[in-house]
Structure 1
Amino acid sequence: MKKISQALPLLGGITPEQFLSEYWHKKPLLIRQAIPGFTPLLDKDELFELAAQEEAESRLISFFGKHWEMQNGPFEQLPVKEKKDWTLLVQGVNLHREEADALLRQFRFIPDARLDDLMISYAADGGGVGPHFDSYDVFLLQAHGQRRWKISAQKDLSLVEGMPLKILRNFKAVQEFLLEPGDMLYLPPHYAHDGEAVGECMTYSIGFRAPSYQELGEAFLHFMSDTIELPGRYADPELKPAANPAEISSAMLSNIAEQLEKIRFSEEDMTIFLGEYLSEPKRNVVFSGPDKPLTPKRFTQAAIKNGVSLSLATQMLYKGKHVFINGESFAIGKEDKVAILKLANDRELDGNGVAEASEDVQEALCTWYEDGWVQLKAK
């Protein structure tokens, strides 16, 4: 019998199954007090400090004289708060703050392979990024102040030319909502929307990964280039004198096409490619191991005592016997599945789990600890 999950206040009191069947990819959902009494995880000064760091991905959006301007961080200085019509966007805050990661993980009724990141936008009064659409699903959680959202299911998604942002040329709002802290708005892909700060405000965007098939195809061909084996070399023992020397002959074309058609890929090839691709860290992610790592023996002792957890930026996925972590893959046996899959699903493994794991798993945990992919839990 299929297990039915519980209704979630985060989804307005409906179950994930109902949300996915009725709203996901289909229509918007306004959820009043999705997180009652919500307060910002970072105050604006902490957000500004994060935007000044090299490892954080940030953008500054400004609007003046019917013109949009975008600058990429890091930012040592931001516009004075009295100046209107500007917005600071800080991407991937979950990679830097545990409380942001914990908020993002509340949305794990969507698989990790699709869950992307938590972006925080700070806007002065009147600030926004203009009428636009996203190519992915998004939850917009109001964290501080108020933001007025105007949305539309319009089919006209033509853009204003010559702008650094994808601004809709003919946005026509159909619905309008004023969001207070704790309120949340879900929008499916390609749903036109425009958010404007009413006074100073902060909005959290929970986004989802939706790579284009073109991107996936190019990455897969690159992945397969290391495994393709086509023995032999082109030869034409039946070659005839060329009447037109510059023309590529049909015989040559057919010969090479016949050889290239021998290229095949299996379901396992696709599994390994997709797992490595989806677990690959983002470009700005840098892992740092402990300054003075414990010896393998002492690490295992500490892990059995306290347990371990995945680092904030670590992405761990699996399919069948294959496990993927930060762009790398390996196969596991039945004896290792319990510990490894629990670590992947729970993003942590308690001391008992470490103790019951095989030596191979304990060695892998130690290696990941040294690389900064895994950390010992606090006492």
Structure 2
Amino acid sequence: MSNNFSPLGDLSVEEFLAEYWQKKPLLIPQALPGVVPPIAADELAGLACEEQVESRLIIHDGSSEHWDLTHGPFAEETFRTLPENHWTLLVQAVDFWVPEAAKFLDQFSFIPSWRVDDLMISLSGDGGGVGPHFDNYDVFLVQVSGRRQWEVGGVYDGRSPRRPDTPVMILTDWKPKERWILEPGDLLYVPPKVGHNGIAVGKDCMTCSVGFRAPSHGDMLKEFSHFVSSDLSEELRYADPDLKPQPHPGRISPEAINQAHQILRQYIEDKDKVAEWFGRSVTIPKYQEEEPTREMYSLKDLQTHLSGGEALLRNEGSRFAFQEHGEEILVFVDGRCFRRPRSQADFVASICAQRVIRFTHLSNTKEDLPFLLELVNHGSLYFPD
């Protein structure tokens, strides 16, 4: 896929970001003409039977308005006994398990890769859906097989009324403003908090949902405070050597508040510390795997592999990003931070952008090999075989 490609039709990336991103919905007919599903329907069902895979099955009884939600893993028998209509299978992070699904995400590289959360794929029978709802993050909805009707409404939030008797979030005050039927290759962009409702029209309806990371402020504060405090000595304590007498022992003085504020502010205002924490945080994989017992390779093994013209592949579940930092480049891989010389900026940018890394991408073999070896032995990169 060319780096210049974007599934935005006649819109430039600049126009999309300025006029639509996090502002208003956008329908792009035939954004991906000739699109091929990144996984077959039966393979998606098989993936939902795996213990490690996050999946859900939603069945809607239209006559009683009852919604049933079941979490995977599922038995194969589950899919043989599905009702004919009004069911939806949702499988999260298909890109984590299927290389073709990971490549599908490359078509959206006009948004920084560290912002991407995962590729969720939904498979529905006729009339299947999850009801009118909203998300707290942006989403690109790509129809890859069959047809789905999408309704788009207004802006909602946590205070918006929803049905209390359903296991899925369904908005009760649902008033769609626009309605379209998407064919394979059509794309719908929905900003955060904009209500939307998808309903399969016919059988074999498959939709790819590209979701984005949007950490809450509460989570950011908790993660940053944990990151900072893990390196602080217990000897660093609140102190008030200029304490003055006060008539009421229970009173917290303005001076005490100022002192507490100053203590906390010195860490928040440390931009280097914030930069390192943020890079680590946004590259933590969606699913943290237990450290497997794997073969440890040597520099000679790696050099032999690369000198033969072989490639290294990026782990589909790994996340790579970088920052320019003075004379250094900070490289973030799966929540870890590596410091590289600024002279390797092109090499670093390449490995953060490419899923296939070849010998020709290396800027300076002697400097690159130890770094690449560490990524291979950690599992962030792997040999094709």
Normalising by the smaller structure, the TM-score range is 0.7 to 0.9
Return closer, same or farther for 1:299/1:38 CA change in 2, 3 Å cut-off: same
Give the Cα–Cα distance (whole angstroms) in 1 for the partners of residues 242 and 36 of structure 2. 77
1:177 aligns with 2:180: yes
Q: TM (normalized to structure 1)? A: 0.87
Cα deviations across residues 20-53 of structure 1 (Å, max 9, x unaligned)? 1121112211111111122322221100110111
Contact 1:94/1:117, CA 8 A, preserved across alignment:
yes
Residue 40 of structure 2 is matched in structure 1 by: 43
- Contact 2:347–2:363 under 8 Å retained in 1: no
2:31 is aligned to 34
Give the partner amino acid of 1:205.
S
Deviations 1:278-334 (A, max 9, x none): 001123545657x54543312222023323232111101111131111011122223
Equivalences for residues 252-271 of structure 1 within 5 A: 258=259, 261-263=262-264, 264-265=266-267, 266-271=270-275
Compared CA separation, residues 292 and 269, structure 1 to 2 (3 A)? closer
Whole-Å separation in 1 of the counterparts to 2:36 and 2:349: 33
Counterpart in 1 of 2:217? 213
2:201 alignment partner, SS class: strand
Match of 1:16 among 1, 13, 19: 13
Match of 2:227 in 1: 223
> Within the alignment, does 1:356 sit opposite 2:353 as a pair?
no
1:67 is matched with 66
Structure 2 distance, partners of 1:195, 1:213, is 29
Distance 1:63-1:284 versus aligned 2 partners, 3 A rule: farther
Compared CA separation, residues 184 and 238, structure 1 to 2 (3 A): closer
Tell me if the contact between 1:307 and 1:376 (Cα under 8 Å) persists in the aligned partners: yes
Question: Matches of residues 104-119 of structure 1 in structure 2 within 5 Å?
Answer: 104-119=105-120
- Other-structure match for 2:318: 314
CA 1:26 to 1:243, structure 2 compared with 1: closer, same or farther past 3 Å?
Answer: closer
340, 346, 352: which one pairs with 1:338?
Answer: 346
Deviation at 1:259, TM superposition (A): 5.5
Q: C-alpha deviations, 1:201-258, integer Å up to 9, x for none?
A: 1111011111111111111111111133563576999999x999xx74547x955862
Alpha-carbon deviation of 1:342? Answer: 1.8
Judging changes above 3 Å, is the alpha-carbon distance between structure 1 residues 248 and 184 closer, same or farther for their aligned structure 2 residues?
same
Aligned-residue Cα RMSD (Å) equals 2.7
Range that drifts further, 256-265 or 88-97:
256-265
- d(CA) in 2 for partners of 1:21 and 1:160? 35
TM-score, L = length of structure 2: 0.86
The answer to whether the 8 Å contact 2:133/2:169 transfers is: yes
Closer, same or farther: CA 338–377 of 1 in aligned 2, 3 Å? farther
Q: Find the aligned partners of 1:238 and 1:103 in 2 and give their Cα distance.
A: 62
* Aligned equivalent of 1:367: 374
Contact 1:115 1:207 in 2 (8 A): yes
Partner of 1:323 in structure 2?
331
* Greater displacement, 291-300 / 46-55: 291-300
Q: Deviations over 1:53-96 (max 9, x none)?
A: 12211111122322322222111142434432211100111111
Q: Report what 2:121 is aligned to.
A: 120
The whole-number CA distance in structure 2 between the counterparts of 1:141 and 1:238 is: 63
- The count of residues paired between Structure 1 and Structure 2 equals 367
Maintained 8 Å contact 1:39/1:143: yes
Check the 8 A contact 1:311/1:374 in 2, yes or no.
yes
Match of 1:203 among 192, 204, 207: 207
Report deviation, 1:185. Answer: 1.0
Contact 1:308 1:348 survives alignment (8 Å): yes
Unpaired runs of at least 5, structure 2: none
Greater mean deviation of Cα atoms: 253-262 or 188-197:
253-262
Identical counterparts, % of pairs:
33
Supply the distance in 2 between the matched residues of 1:315 and 1:259 (Cα, whole angstroms): 36
Unaligned runs of 5+ in 1: none
